[in-house]
Structure 1
């Protein structure tokens, strides 16, 4: 059996501090897997520059000039982590047998790649990297993160618990993933929808080596909301259920009020009236907002805008000249 060609896909956004540290780690891991005869010598490390405002792209170009295992693509502008990962996967799907996507901050254990490749060699098409524990997270982050996965499952979205974007995907699965053309991308939910045999590999997550996290609470909440509205319409069903429930309660209260009025037992209830109006008004505004999110996503999908645009590749003509100049 021929050794599989592996492309490690690494999204990068303003990573000039951490990239020089972790890039040699990825290269060493590729070399170890090659020496163990698990992957082909033609395997590569693909950095995806997501419109960085610092020297990330210059570092990627320099790495490509130093070693042929390093290659890179540059997006025309910042389009977000999910789009950057997808751009790398789509770039790799026709050039390799398997991909492993991983962040470049050094938090995900690269030694888990050995077990991922072993699973693939045993016939598995998708291998999810799953965090073994969250003991290094704050209580708030652990509570919100685990609550997110449980909430997603409750809403009917198929996601792997405690899995982010560290995963192995075969080229065959990528070919089918390419048929998913939605603009609102949430890979944690899209990949399981493709199907095929899958497995999980657990690992311990470390602290970020350098730089700052590009996923503060605001972006995490946006990602969670995007995932929910991209993968499930259950929120709309919940709105309908709430509407029916309150309508039934309202009907009962209306009959009760009429009976009280006939019996002459009505009293002025200003406070209770205001509370009911505020409650129902808030529920209506939230419901309209949720419906608006779905309508907005539908509007964006109908535009069929590109999910990413590649402005440069390290192996193209103008980039080859840069590499040759740096090697001379």
Structure 2
């Protein structure tokens, strides 16, 4: 598979304290992907941040990041519609120009370095690649239990 463009979608709600660092880390990962697969990619990459009605400085940071780097784009909701709505909006926007989409939370609680592995898997022919967290020690008991139930049901 030849990937023409990679887009990372970040739903964001009141993420001003961490957004800049997260975006810079993801840009570096996109650059690594392009470098590692230069022979197979027509690689272009960007990041779409969906501000889900934040009440802090998240949107002004998105605007600042875009001015510094046009690879960063943003969508702004008029109010908080929720994480899933932000993901969907980001996917609907990104699919217009990209053929490989990755979603990740702004706090990077899931290992963003796995994006490198995911792209490699796609390059090897996998049409859908998704990550499943295998360590939930930092999650609350409720979150751990509901996640385990979900994945048990998914594999049943």
Superimposed CA distance per residue, residues 134-177 of structure 1 (whole angstroms, 9 cap, x where no aligned partner): 23334444233313443xx2xxxxx479xxxxxxxxxxxxxxxx
Secondary structure at 2:130's aligned position in 1? strand
Within 5 Å, give how 1:241-320 maps onto structure 2: none
CA contact (8 A) 1:10 1:104 kept: yes
Cα shift at 1:77: 2.0
Partners of 1:143 and 1:33 lie apart in 2 by 34
Partners of 1:42 and 1:129 lie apart in 2 by 22
Q: How many residues align?
A: 154
Within 5 Å, give how 1:174-185 maps onto structure 2: none
Partners of 2:84 and 2:99 lie apart in 1 by 21
Instruction: Please list every run of 5 or more consecutive structure 2 residues that lacks an aligned counterpart in the other structure.
Output: none
CA contact (8 A) 2:3 2:99 kept: no
CA contact (8 A) 1:33 1:39 kept: no
- Choose between structure 1 and 2 for higher RCO, CA contacts under 8 A separated by at least 6 residues: 2
CA contact (8 A) 1:29 1:111 kept: yes
Instruction: Please list every run of 5 or more consecutive structure 1 residues that lacks an aligned counterpart in the other structure.
Output: 154-158, 162-328
Q: 1:63 aligns with which of 54, 62, 65?
A: 65
Partners of 1:95 and 1:46 lie apart in 2 by 11
Partners of 2:3 and 2:114 lie apart in 1 by 19
1:98 aligns with 2:87: no
Change in Cα spacing, 1:160 to 1:79, as seen in structure 2 (3 Å) is farther
Partners of 1:13 and 1:138 lie apart in 2 by 20
1:87 aligns with 2:89: yes
**Alignment-derived partner of residue 262 in structure 1:** none
Q: 2:113 aligns with which of 86, 111, 114?
A: 111
Change in Cα spacing, 1:50 to 1:40, as seen in structure 2 (3 Å) is farther
CA contact (8 A) 2:2 2:123 kept: no
1:7 aligns with 2:30: no
Normalised TM-score (structure 2): 0.88
Change in Cα spacing, 1:121 to 1:77, as seen in structure 2 (3 Å) is same
Secondary structure at 1:125's aligned position in 2? coil
Larger mean Cα displacement after TM superposition, 81-90 or 36-45: 36-45
**Alignment-derived partner of residue 25 in structure 2:** 25
Partners of 2:133 and 2:155 lie apart in 1 by 11
Q: Which has the larger radius of gyration?
A: 1
Secondary structure at 2:34's aligned position in 1? helix
Partners of 1:75 and 1:41 lie apart in 2 by 29
RMSD: 2.0
Change in Cα spacing, 1:144 to 1:96, as seen in structure 2 (3 Å) is closer
Normalised TM-score (structure 1): 0.44
Change in Cα spacing, 1:53 to 1:127, as seen in structure 2 (3 Å) is same
**Alignment-derived partner of residue 308 in structure 1:** none
Cα shift at 1:102: 0.7
Partners of 2:128 and 2:89 lie apart in 1 by 18
